[in-house]
Chains A and B, each alone.
Chain A
Amino acid sequence: MTPDMTNDFAIKIATVNGTGSASANTLLMKSIFRSGIPVMGKNYFPSNIQGLPTWYEIRVTKDAYVARSGKIDVMVAMNAETYARDVREVASGGYLLYDSTWPRPALLARDDITVLGVPLAKLCNENFNGVRTRILMKNICYAGVLAALLDLDVEKIRGLLAETYAKKPQLVDSNMKAITLGYEYAKQNLACPLPVKVAPLDKTRGHIMIDGNTAAGLGCVFAGATVGAWYPITPSTSLMDAFKSFADKLRVDPETGKKNFAFIQAEDELAAIGMVLGASWNGARAFTATSGPGVSLMNEFLGLAYYAEVPAVLFDIQRVGPSTGMPTRTQQCDILEAAYASHGDTKHVCLFPRDPEECFYFARDAFDLAERLQTPVMVLSDLDIGMNDWMCPDLKWDDTYVPDRGKVMGKDEIAKLEKFHRYLDVDGDGIPWRTLPGVHPKGAYFTRGSGHTQYGAYTEDSAEYQIVLDRLTRKFHTARRLVPAPVIEHDPGIDIALVAYGSSDGAVREARDILSSHGLTANYLRLRSFPFGEDVEKFLESHRLVFVIEQNRDAQMRSLLTLETRVEKHKLRSLLHYSGLPISSEFIVKGVLAEVEPKTRKADVKGVA
């Protein structure tokens, strides 16, 4: 029996970048979202402006899963260059839509899928003028075909176009003409709708579709960041673009027109983080956004910030490494680089948001933590979170929020002191007090990356140097109870567990459901921060077998767990996905099942330890 695929299937659209396919794909995804049906959209694009293969994957998921399933039910093959591989990727029983203006190579025929031909180029050539318009409209036209095949509400599409082109109504008409061309052709010539189709639900109310970089940039505006300094790098640039565009609207003094923020495009990443340190040191909430190569360049300053105890917020939108790697593909490959950035004994606070919603809240938390702990805080997002639209609950802002500016002494407090000592552990939590320039001459101190005493003076004395270094260890220990706690789902009767972080969360949640249907139940811990707290230790301790799921080759989080907790190394099994595409639930299910027989789950996992 064919399973019911209504509201439960995935479409992949293969096109060439720079041809307007992004608008068509967004149109499709948003119209599904507006029909109340949860949807996921992922863009696999080249590091290029025009002419290279690009794919867009739309997953319609009534159960609101946010990851790739690993299976493609409908392929829209618009790119001749990738046609052969696109045909191969369609799941058995699935559908292939192609432009039948030109003949299809017979060699690539498959008899286990349904092939649907629509003469898209011909339709557009007959109805539109100009090469550029014809190319753009061909892509809008396939959206019309899909609307008919999937039983999508065309009025939803019209509504979206009207919003997008509110100021250019003629574009609404031409786009609707292309939609209608495709829609009518499909209605007349193909069996519409297909078994893979949508039916309106009411499951997206109270939700938005937003990408992580936009959410993070917005979070910085709300958290009160006043200085943003950066050097353009994919895939982080849109975070700074978002910050600037929101700040330009929300941070300009209505009376004077003055900007209550400074936005600085630096000459390189070294300067970008330097500016963040200078501004934070001077009492502003300052941040930068970058990716792995940028973090490599920022290492020297991150070490200075750790040792001289200067707050800083850094968003690392991870992309595929090593080196330049694949700039437009996703990975979680900067974990160790971030945790131990810079020479000498250094450790850094890291946050691992799972989606755009957490990017928004972690932006706020990162500033609070950086100022409380007087140290850099790195938010490790990735390209998948940062640049794809995710369905998230509405972002909320608590108007009673008061930023934690940390231990900063005011003028009167300084005046009362006999002498100010910058690096003295007055409160026993490893966090010293600091002062800001321009406040009081008695508060002045000399910030330096060279050896210093707890009183803030230069030293080359072993004992004095060690006092400060040991206090920094205590401070990092204090950080363990301040950082976001892991999310734990723990049934004490089960001794198999999954550990994951960041953008893998969606795939892990779905994989657990699938494993469960196979009769295998696993507990789950989602790491949200480094340093790891006692709850991570306990969780690892209480399981016999722990799968650490991550999106890099070298099991970086597993390494960090073995280095920074008491866990016995042999208990940790890695499931490593590092193709550059977002991890799928299927990958995790297969990985777990390869090691654990479902019938032996819960009770005993003899032989695997």
Chain B
Amino acid sequence: MTFLPKPKVRHPSLPKNSLGLTRRDYEGGLSTLCAGCGHDSITAAIIEASWGLDIEPQNMVKLSGIGCSSKTTAYFVSGGHGFNSVHGRMPSIAMGANAANRNLAYVGVSGDGDTLSIGLGQFCHAVRRNLNMAYIIENNGVYGLTKGQFSASADVGTKAKKGEVNQQPPIDPVLLALTLGATFVARSFSGDKQQLVPLIQAAIRHKGFALIDVLSPCVTFNDHEGSTKSYQYTREHYDAAVNADFVPFQREISADYAEGDALPVVLHDGSRILLRKLDSSYDPTDRGAAAAAIQERLKKGEFLTGLLYVDTNGKEFHEVNETPAIPLNQIPHNRLSPGSAALAKVLARYR
């Protein structure tokens, strides 16, 4: 939502991806968020992930609702169309856009208010449809733009900047998505770029709805003592269970994982996610076990992170709908309109 263009100064030695594009080509407008905002780190991770995936910028569609997080779609990949819609309704815009053209990469960025309060219904149904998109929640437990109200993800006992204590139980998007049948569920932290970048890449390549809940502390309204989503609290209670490495199809699979603690997951396009299990008992392909492990940690006030659950066999919307490989918005009219002879036949029923 920025109106400040970034100066286009390019260093000739910047590394290029296979399309000959540098990271700068995946940037967007200048962020107008508060200095130190976790969201800006996520933006940087998306830029890094997109560059690394060799996505043609115009083939990325960026979608958002309303709120601080939703502004960020203006801050990356300026060569792709963006749609900053209305509060909590981004999933429906994404659904329609995806229905019209199944061949683009849809990346949605939302917040905890946008997803878990006003947009809870649309979020749930996008998961149920297994809409093929990467859906990133920039989760800070607080309403930033309206200055510090609790969001539905605020933990019980967390203290607002003005001292008020939250007493309502939080909605956990990760647990919710698991119960709704989500096929890709991850959690990460805005300050952990190493974990986040491959997760975003895998989410974009995953065929179906891919959720990444990113804890992203609000430096202005939720970074004080008593907050469970402050930088300090998050760093102290953050535990990676399964880190992902993303390996595009074209590249060789690196052998830097040891048998027994890594699990390769092949995506529909042949690319792979290597899940490095930091906790050997963790099984990211067992929905029930994943939910139990997450809940176990939450009881201790800890966030389990990484790619927590993945199922590459789920049917996404177009497979269920049986739409053709060619995007619907590119089918010529003569193949869409049945013509006068067909109409005459139809009318016979109405005589």
Contact = CB atoms under 8 A, between A and B. Distances in A.
> Do A and B come together as binding partners?
yes
Interface of A: 33-34, 208-210, 214, 218, 221-224, 226-227, 229, 246, 250-251, 253, 256-264, 266-268, 270-284, 286, 300-301, 304, 394-399, 401-403, 435-450, 457-459
A264 B83 contact: no
B322 A397 contact: no
B343 A304 contact: no
B98 interface: yes
Contact of A447 (B82, B125, B329, B347): B82
Interface string B82-119: 11111001011111111111011000000000000000
A586 to B, nearest CB: 29
A408 to B, nearest CB: 10
A395 B97 CA distance: 32
Contacts of B125: 266-267, 271
Contacts of B78: 444
B251 to A, nearest CB: 24
Interface stretch (B57-65, B169-177, B275-283): B57-65
Interface string B1-13: 1110000000000
Contacts of B148: none
Contact of A226 (B104, B317, B329): B329
Given A444-B78, A445-B81, A446-B74, A271 B89 contact: yes
- 5 tightest CB-CB pairs across the interface, nearest first? A278-B96, A274-B92, A441-B79, A284-B100, A275-B96
A283 B99 contact: no
B96 A279 contact: yes
Nearest to A263: B321
A274 B97 CA distance: 10
A457 B337 CA distance: 38
Nearest to A310: B83
Nearest to A400: B340
Nearest to B124: A267
Given A208-B351, A282-B101, A444-B58, A276 B336 contact: no
Given A282-B96, A397-B340, A457-B3, A227 B328 contact: yes
Contact of B340 (A253, A281, A283, A399): A399
Contacts of A441: 56-58, 79-80
Contacts of B3: 457-459
24 contacts: A214-B350, A251-B338, A262-B99, A274-B92, A275-B99, A278-B95, A279-B100, A281-B83, A283-B329, A284-B99, A396-B343, A397-B340, A397-B343, A401-B337, A403-B333, A436-B81, A437-B61, A437-B101, A438-B104, A441-B56, A441-B57, A446-B1, A447-B82, A448-B82
A527 B317 CA distance: 41
Contacts of A271: 89, 91-92, 95, 121-122, 125
Nearest to B92: A274
Contacts of A284: 96, 99-101, 328-329
Contacts of B323: 258-262
Contacts of A277: 85, 92-93, 96
Contacts of B82: 444-448
Given A395-B347, A441-B57, 19 more contacts: A208-B351, A209-B351, A218-B346, A227-B328, A253-B324, A256-B324, A262-B100, A263-B321, A264-B95, A271-B95, A274-B89, A282-B61, A282-B101, A283-B101, A286-B100, A441-B80, A448-B83, A449-B86, A450-B84
B31 to A, nearest CB: 13
B319 to A, nearest CB: 11
A445 B57 CA distance: 12
A442 B59 CA distance: 12
A447 B81 contact: yes
Nearest to A224: B336
Given A278-B99, A279-B96, A279-B100, A304 B340 contact: no
A398 B321 CA distance: 30
A37 to B, nearest CB: 14
Interface of B: 1-3, 56-59, 61, 73-74, 78-86, 89, 91-101, 103-104, 121-122, 124-125, 317-318, 321-325, 328-329, 331, 333, 335-340, 342-343, 346-347, 350-351
B103 A438 contact: yes
A258 B324 contact: yes
Contacts of A286: 96, 99-100
B86 A301 contact: yes
A398 B324 contact: no
B350 A210 contact: yes
B78 to A, nearest CB: 6
A411 B112 CA distance: 37
Contacts of B322: 257-259
Given A304-B86, A399-B340, A448-B1, A224 B333 contact: yes
B350 A278 contact: no
A273 B325 CA distance: 25
Nearest to A259: B322
Nearest to B59: A438
Contact of B83 (A246, A278, A398): A278
A273 B89 CA distance: 10
A317 B58 CA distance: 39
Residue of B57, B80, B323 with most partner-chain A CB within 10 A: B323
Nearest to B81: A437
Contact of B80 (A258, A275, A279, A437): A437
Contacts of A257: 322
Contacts of B336: 224, 226, 251, 260
A256 B73 CA distance: 37
A277 B83 CA distance: 10
Nearest to B101: A282
A446 B91 CA distance: 17
A224 B337 contact: yes
B338 A222 contact: yes
Contact of A437 (B86, B97, B121, B333): B97
A262 B331 contact: no
Contact of A458 (B2, B61, B85, B317): B2
A518 to B, nearest CB: 36
A282 B97 contact: yes
Nearest to B331: A260
A222 B337 contact: yes
A397 to B, nearest CB: 4
A273 to B, nearest CB: 8
A399 B96 CA distance: 28
A300 B85 CA distance: 10
A439 B58 contact: yes
Contact of B96 (A209, A274, A437, A457): A274
Contact of A280 (B96, B342, B347): B96
B122 A261 contact: no
Nearest to A33: B351
A79 B322 CA distance: 47
Contact of B339 (A258, A397, A435): A397
A300 B337 CA distance: 32
A479 B85 CA distance: 25
Nearest to A204: B351
B4 to A, nearest CB: 10
Contact of A275 (B81, B92, B124, B347): B92
Contacts of A436: 81, 329
A261 B1 CA distance: 34
A214 B340 CA distance: 17
B338 to A, nearest CB: 4
Contact of B58 (A209, A301, A438): A438
Contacts of B83: 278, 281, 446-448
Contacts of B1: 446, 448, 450, 458
Nearest to B5: A457
A415 B342 CA distance: 40
Nearest to A256: B324
A250 B344 CA distance: 13
B96 A229 contact: yes
A210 B350 CA distance: 6
Contact of A444 (B80, B94, B333): B80
Contact of A395 (B58, B79, B343): B343
